[in-house]
């Protein structure tokens, strides 16, 4: 009789272990299947306001079901750290690559993302001659030559001087003119990146006349032979 109880106990233990291992295998299989259907994405760890630089502390990688991931969501921390938020991002929200922008890249035409710290954008009018016959494009570098009257140098005659060197071209402005015979682009303006002190020089010199000199690619040499008046004529005479 005792043998029967022992045998029954062993059978119950075996069945229990079988059920346990079967359930554990099912759980492991379900977990593996769930993990296979997940992927890592970047989410915000705290609210990120618009126009804020995203730091490491603001974001994290988390696993989400594939069906819950937006195709525009960033998958790497390197894609977002150092970028600027163009719009507010809520805590735990997936960070879309279309809602952030790296410095140095134009964001929906916003030059403020291209400008380096310490620089300002300033636009000057040009024509076919002063604008290198329309051969200036974004990313080029130019020097500026101004023609004006310098009271401390030559009160009665106009003088041409190199006033600023190695300015980056941020954009060019062209107007399309169409008629019955043809369509042409008229060269109108150039937008430059300049330091604040140079924008003052450019603004003043623009009323007299500025000519652009295009620099060769990869040539960032500075001659230092620039000049700008500290004494101005009492009556400014525009150069014709």
Domains of the chain: 38-101 (3.90.1210.10), 118-214 (no CATH)
Out of 12-16, 146-150, 204-208, least confident range: 12-16
Read off the pLDDT band of 225 (50, 70, 90): confident
pLDDT at 108: 55
Adjacent-strand bridge partners of 213? 143
Query: How does pLDDT run across 94-115, given as a tens digit for each residue?
Result: 999 888 888 766 555 677 878 8
pLDDT at 237: 45
- pLDDT at residue 153 tops 50: yes
Please give the residue that has the higher pLDDT: either 28 or 216: 216
pLDDT at 49: 92
pLDDT at 13: 66
Cβ atoms 101, 107 nearer than 8 A: yes
Out of 4-18, 155-169, 170-184, 190-204, least confident range: 4-18
Phi and psi angles of residue 106, each rounded to the nearest 5 degrees, phi first: -70, 125
Query: How does pLDDT run across 170-184, given as a tens digit for each residue?
Result: 988 876 556 666 665
Adjacent-strand bridge partners of 184? 177
pLDDT at 195: 95
pLDDT at 14: 63
pLDDT at 96: 92
């Amino acid at each position: 009789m005792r043998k029967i109880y022992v045998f029954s106990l062993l059978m119950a233990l075996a069945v229990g272990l079988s059920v346990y291992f079967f359930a554990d295998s099912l759980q492991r299989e379900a977990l593996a299947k769930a993990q296979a259907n997940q992927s890592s994405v970047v989410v915000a760890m705290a609210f990120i306001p618009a126009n804020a630089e995203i730091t490491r502390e603001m974001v994290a990688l988390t696993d989400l079901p594939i069906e819950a991931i937006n195709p525009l969501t960033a998958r790497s921390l390197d894609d977002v750290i150092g970028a600027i938020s163009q719009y507010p991002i809520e805590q735990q929200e997936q960070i879309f690559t279309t809602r952030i922008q790296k410095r140095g890249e134009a964001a929906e035409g916003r030059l403020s993302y291209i400008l380096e710290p310490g620089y300002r954008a300033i636009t000057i009018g040009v024509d076919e001659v002063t604008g290198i016959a329309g051969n200036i494009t974004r990313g080029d570098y130019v020097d500026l030559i101004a023609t004006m009257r310098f009271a401390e140098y030559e009160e009665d005659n106009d003088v041409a001087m190199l006033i600023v060197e190695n300015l980056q071209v941020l954009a060019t402005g062209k107007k399309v003119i169409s008629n019955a015979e043809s369509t042409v682009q008229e060269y109108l303006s150039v937008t430059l990146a300049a330091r604040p002190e140079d924008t003052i020089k450019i603004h003043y010199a623009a009323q007299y006349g500025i000519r652009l000199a295009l620099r060769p690619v990869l040539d960032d040499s500075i001659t230092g032979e620039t000049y700008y008046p500290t004494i101005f004529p009492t009556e400014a005479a525009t150069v014709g």
